[in-house]
């Protein structure tokens, strides 16, 4: 690296450190030498100098994916950006982590995963099970306003509850027609042409590219609350990220996040979050 580029990189890192919100700095400090399970990873959002950097603090990250190779990451890695060691590699559904012991992780990480899961409440229950009592979930979801889902309706909490009650599995096709009709291919260049996109959606149990569910910030908060997690941090960031940090078994602390006049409504960069729209039921 040239001296000029090195100086630029050092300046960029210094600026990032100065402006990074203090609340997430506390999360980073808790990650020092901790062990995490990442569902559907690795993900660039946890790399150094990205939105929610944790790989440079964690000692080890175990990975759980539904298949050995996925559309998003088929590479074999021993070390993640920032230095965290890659540990065990589980081949398992996000909602059925049978090989993972109870209370075995300090962190569960999941970036742009839960929208692909047919039964999110069941998945969140599994993630709570594998977290230690003082562990944290770091969940990143796509906000519909800035993605190819912007034409689709936000998934109501009642639908998540019904999926859990019926024991919906990953072969569920409830949202197939909606995704085919309303997905904005103009915002999804990686999906290919219409024929290629439709083929993947029709065979979603293999590819997992379909978003079963669609989120705005309120829907995300209400889902995490319904799963029994207490939210400790909410950050909304362009281009399309909702980041929630939450602790298992502390949902009684969520009243301020659920209030119609909660401050995140005014701070949100996403139009659908402003003004407060009342409860999602």
Q: What CATH number is attached to the domain comprising 231?
A: 3.40.50.150
- Are 217 and 264 contacting, i.e. CB atoms less than 8 angstroms apart? yes
Q: Is residue 71 in a domain?
A: yes
How many Å apart are CA 119 and CA 123, to the nearest integer?
A: 6
Domain count, the chain: 1
Q: Is residue 278 in a domain?
A: no
Q: Is residue 35 in a domain?
A: yes
Domain limits for position 27: 22-273
Q: Is residue 148 in a domain?
A: yes
Q: Is residue 63 in a domain?
A: yes
Closest CA to 251 of 232, 231, 230: 230
How many Å apart are CA 195 and CA 199, to the nearest integer?
A: 6
pLDDT at 117 over 80: yes
What is the average pLDDT across 229-246? 97
Q: Is residue 259 in a domain?
A: yes
Q: Is residue 250 in a domain?
A: yes
pLDDT of residue 14: 42
pLDDT at 101 over 50: yes
Which has the minimum average pLDDT: 72-81, 170-179, 213-222? 72-81
Residue 276: burial class (beta carbons within 10 Å; 0-12, 13-18, 19+)? middle
pLDDT of residue 72: 64
């Amino acid at each position: 690296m040239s001296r000029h580029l090195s100086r630029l990189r050092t300046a960029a890192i210094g600026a990032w450190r100065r402006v990074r919100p203090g609340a997430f700095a506390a999360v980073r400090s808790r990650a020092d030498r901790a062990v995490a399970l990442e569902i559907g990873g690795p993900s660039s959002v946890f790399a150094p100098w990205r939105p929610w950097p944790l790989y440079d603090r964690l000692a080890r990250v175990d990975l759980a994916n539904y298949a050995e190779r996925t559309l998003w990451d088929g590479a074999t890695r021993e070390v993640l950006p920032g230095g965290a060691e890659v540990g065990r590699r589980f081949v398992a559904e996000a909602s059925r982590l049978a090989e993972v012991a109870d209370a075995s992780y300090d962190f569960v990480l999941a970036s742009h995963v839960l929208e692909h899961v047919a039964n999110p409440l069941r998945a969140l229950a599994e993630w709570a099970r594998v977290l230690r009592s003082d562990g944290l979930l770091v969940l990143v979801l796509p906000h519909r306003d800035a993605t190819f889902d912007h034409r689709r309706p936000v998934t109501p909490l009642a639908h998540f509850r019904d999926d859990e009650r019926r024991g919906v599995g990953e072969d569920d096709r409830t949202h197939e027609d909606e995704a085919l009709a309303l997905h904005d291919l103009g915002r999804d260049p990686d999906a290919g042409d219409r024929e290629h996109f439709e083929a993947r959606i029709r065979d979603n149990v293999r590819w997992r590219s379909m978003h079963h569910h669609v989120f705005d910030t309120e829907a995300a908060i209400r889902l995490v609350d319904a799963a029994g997690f207490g939210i400790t941090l909410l950050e909304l960031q362009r281009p399309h990220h909702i980041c929630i940090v939450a602790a298992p078994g502390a949902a009684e602390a969520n009243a301020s996040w659920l209030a119609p006049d909660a401050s995140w409504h005014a701070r949100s960069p996403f139009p659908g979050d402003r003004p407060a729209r009342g409860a999602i039921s």
